[in-house]
Structures are given as structure tokens and as C-alpha cells.
Chains A and B, each alone.
With several copies, the nearest count.
Chain A
Amino acid sequence: MDVLITIKEKITVEEALAFIQTPTCGGEVIFAGTVRNHTHKRAVTHLFYECYEPMALSEMRKIADQVKEKWAIEKLVMLHAIGALYPGDIAVVIAVASAHRGIAFDACEYVIDTLKETVPIWKKEFFADEQPV
């Protein structure tokens, strides 16, 4: 399984696609998490993502190892953005390529669910109805 794990300021779906596309695979499943313009009906102006980078990368590698053990996945990409993000910006991209689409869906959902539970990244929300700090 080829793995690409990246934490950086700006991420794109295209770079994930470029990594996973291969003529040997039939199915690619991609999850993109974007910044919403509201949380519980409160308008969000922007987010700030903070990260304990060496541990975050290590936890992401652990997830990749779990995927490799559980499913016959050929390629896996995990990208996470950090810093200031605005509504519509992409915060996270998970991309999986496999010869079988069913396990590609399962693996992709597993990765994003687990990432949200274990990877030390924190989101701070800034609201429109808040005093600027």
C-alpha cells in the first residue's frame, strides 16, 4: 500500500487524486471535509487549526497501518490543513484506491472517523457575533 500523509497550510483534492490514480485500480473513494459557514446556527467567520505535528503524523501513520492490516487497499492519502481556514476551504482530504469499491468506502470512512478521534489537531472557531480578540 502506497501512503501519502501530509499536514500543511493549503491542501487540495487534486493532489490527493494525483497520488491515488493508477491504471491497476478500479475504484477511488475520496472524502473532503470543508469549513462550514455556521455551527449550531451561529455564523462562523473562520477557523484556526492547531496541531501537535510530530504526534499527529505518527497517529496518522498508525491509522494507515490499521488500514493496511484490515483491507486490500492499494493507495491511501491523508491530508490535513492547519492555520486559518475560511468557509469553503478544505480542512481534510482522505483518498483511497482499491480494486474493489466496497472496501474503498469502508476504509475511507474508517480513516476519517478514526482521524477525528485520535489525531492531535484542534479547531478553534471564530464567530461573527463575537468580539474580535
Chain B
Amino acid sequence: MGILLFGVVKETAGCAVLDCPAYIKDVATLKRWLYEQYPSLQQLSSLMIAVNRSYASDDQEFTDRDEIAVIPPVSGG
């Protein structure tokens, strides 16, 4: 399934949409997988996952019909 990347995560991965393995079905597993793929993300002060455009907790599950996005520390305003 494709997950949306923004900001420094997008720059680190070098792409705006990342394909992640089908076995990943919850936020905690996705974050673990991201940290394995891109260890430098562990240096960020936070890394949030949004499920269907809302911040999700670690135990939230999702399917490939959900819109998943990786949200590094925001810096708007």
C-alpha cells in the first residue's frame, strides 16, 4: 500500500509516496518499519502517523483502503 510522505521524511526517502509491505496493519508496526528503513528518522523530535487525515495512536489499525500519511514535526505559521 502507498503511504504519503511530507517534509523531512519525504526528503529522506526521496519520494512523496512510499510503498510499504502488506503485513503492516497498525501504526506501531508502521513506525517500527519506517525507523528500520530510515534510521535517521529516529533523530526527529516526533513522528506521527495520520490515518484518514487524523492523528492516530500507536495501537490504531488500518487497511489498504485507508489514507495513511507520515507526519514529521510540523513547522507552519
Q: What residues of chain A have their CB less than 8 Å away from a CB belonging to chain B?
A: 33, 49-52, 54-56, 58, 80, 91-92, 112, 115-124
Contact = CB atoms under 8 A, between A and B. Distances in A.
A27 B61 CA distance: 40
Contacts, number: 58
B70 to A, nearest CB: 10
Contacts of A55: 50, 53-54, 69
Interface in B1-17: 4, 6-8
Given A50-B7, A52-B4, A52-B6, A116 B53 contact: no
Interface of B: 4, 6-8, 50, 53-55, 69, 71-72, 74-77
Of B4, B75, B77, the most chain A CB neighbours within 10 A belong to B77
Contact of B76 (A54, A58, A119): A119
A116 B71 CA distance: 13
A122 B72 contact: yes
Nearest to A92: B77
A118 B77 CA distance: 11
